[in-house]
Structure formats: C-alpha cells, structure tokens
Amino acid sequence: MFTLGFIGGGNMSTAIMKGIMKKDGHPPSHIWVSGPHIENLTHWQQVGANVTNKNGDLFMNCDVIFLGVKPAMLDKSVKDSVETLPDIVGNKDILIISMLAGVTLQTLQQVFKTYLFPEGINIKVVRIMPNVPMAVGSGACLYTCGNGVSDEQKCNMVKLLKCCGDCESVPETLMNNLGVLTGCGPAYIFIVIEALADGAVKQGVPRDLALRFAAQTVMGSAHLVLESGKHPAQLKDEVCSPGGTTICGISVLEDGKLRSTLINAIEASVKKTDKMDPSSRKQ
C-alpha cells in the first residue's frame, strides 16, 4: 500500500480527497496533507488523514504527492520541502502530480532539479487538470506524464483519479485549451443552473424546488448527450416543436448571444492560463 500526500489542502485537493474517500479508494491513515495553517486542515483530520505544516514530511512519508498550490507558489513550496527534509532520507521514488494550471512539465521538472533534494530521492512528474465535481465522483480529469514515469506509478495515479470520475491521457499541447473546458467549465454551468432557477423563481416557483430541478435538468441533459451519442444540436432540434414553447426560449437565448458568450469565456480563460507558468513571467 503506497502512501498518498497533498501539498496544499485547498478546494481542489479537498475535492480529489473526497472523491477518493467516496469510493474507498485509499485508506485515510495512508494520506498526508500539508499546509501553512494546521487550523485550516481540520476537515482532513476529521476523515483520519495525517496533517502537517512541513512539506518535507510528505517527501519523507509519501510515494505519490498531489501538488495543489498556486502557480506563483511553486518555487516556495519546493524550497520549503527541501529545507524541512533531513540530509539523509534513503532511496525513494516519488511521483509528483501537479494541479498547477498552466505550468508545463518542463517548468515543473526544472524547478525540482533546481532545488537539491537529498541523494536517493527520485522524482517524476505528471501534470493533471482536475475539476471540482471530482468531489462527488462525477469529475473530468486530464493528465499528461513527464519523462520516466513508471507503469506502476501511472497505474496507481489512474486508479485514484478514476475514483473521482472520468480521466484521460492527452498530449500536453491540449492541457491548457481542453483543461480550461474541464477545469473552468463547472463554474460556467453553476451560473447557468442558478440563472435557470432564478427564471423559475420569477415565475413563482419556490427556490429550493427551482434549484433542485434546474440542477437535475442540466445533469440529465449532459447524461443524454453522453449516452445517446447524438450531437447536442440534434437533441435540441428534437425538443423544439414548430411554433412551440422551447423554440421561443431558444430565440431569446440567441438574442442574448449565449453561444458566443460561452465561447468567449473559454477563450478568456485559456489566455489567462497561458500566462500562469512562472517561466513565462520571467521572460
């Protein structure tokens, strides 16, 4: 049984942890999490995980480590890890799974080479782009492996990620563009759900009922797209009877430029992601 770690216990790390726990994918006693403020990690303690404010403790105790800090904190988190390690650790193969948006494998590998870990620590890197629905086992996660990642390390990682939903290997060239769709997309859909519910509330529907059925409608529609194999446009046309209620609503959505707004939202997020790699800011 390998030991799992999380550097950074924020929202995305918590979502992955919850997805893993939901499927009993890893024993809590074999999970570590580090953060600068122990008091912010009480929800990890409550599930039985080990908590610490020293990143080095994870390199001492863990075989697989999710890196979940802000991209600008990459250097500091690795430096802190080295500074809190003893001079002699022994031979350890450690897989680092980076959740840092926009930070390339090349940058990650260079940062881990820059700071001198004790002799015997062998670090390999994977880059992932997860999303918050992973907390309930309905997530979407992309991954791309760096050089030297073993089959066993990849297998262990995929098993963990599949506890949280679908995961797929993609070329790194797609990590930013497709990763924005999966990573940022839920926030866009939350707005859609809220707006649909508000529309029903405006028509006199109680809010709790409106929210529940707005969410169910979105979930069911997505499920139908995946299960039917039909293009969303075809499914939309099947709902729109000539002169009916749905096509009248669609006309309003077209007037409001819903399609182009969502397309532009993806583009704006991709442009921001492309600028988040620390190496790009140094140039």
Measured distance CA(259)–CA(252) in Å, rounded: 12
Measured distance CA(108)–CA(187) in Å, rounded: 27
Q: What are the pLDDT digits (tens) for 80-125?
A: 999 988 877 788 899 999 999 999 999 999 999 998 888 889 999 9
pLDDT of residue 279: 73
pLDDT of residue 280: 66
pLDDT of residue 18: 95
Sheet containing strand 64-67, strands side by side: 50-52, 31-34, 4-7, 64-67, 92-98, 121-129, 139-145, 165-169
Residues of the chain with pLDDT under 70: 280-283
pLDDT of residue 91: 87
pTM above 0.85, yes or no: yes
Q: Kindly report each contact of residues 78-81 with a partner whose C-beta sits within 8 Å and lies 24 or more positions away, as own/partner.
A: 78/111, 78/112, 78/114, 78/115, 79/115, 80/54, 80/55, 80/56, 81/7, 81/55, 81/56, 81/115, 81/117
Measured distance CA(234)–CA(211) in Å, rounded: 26
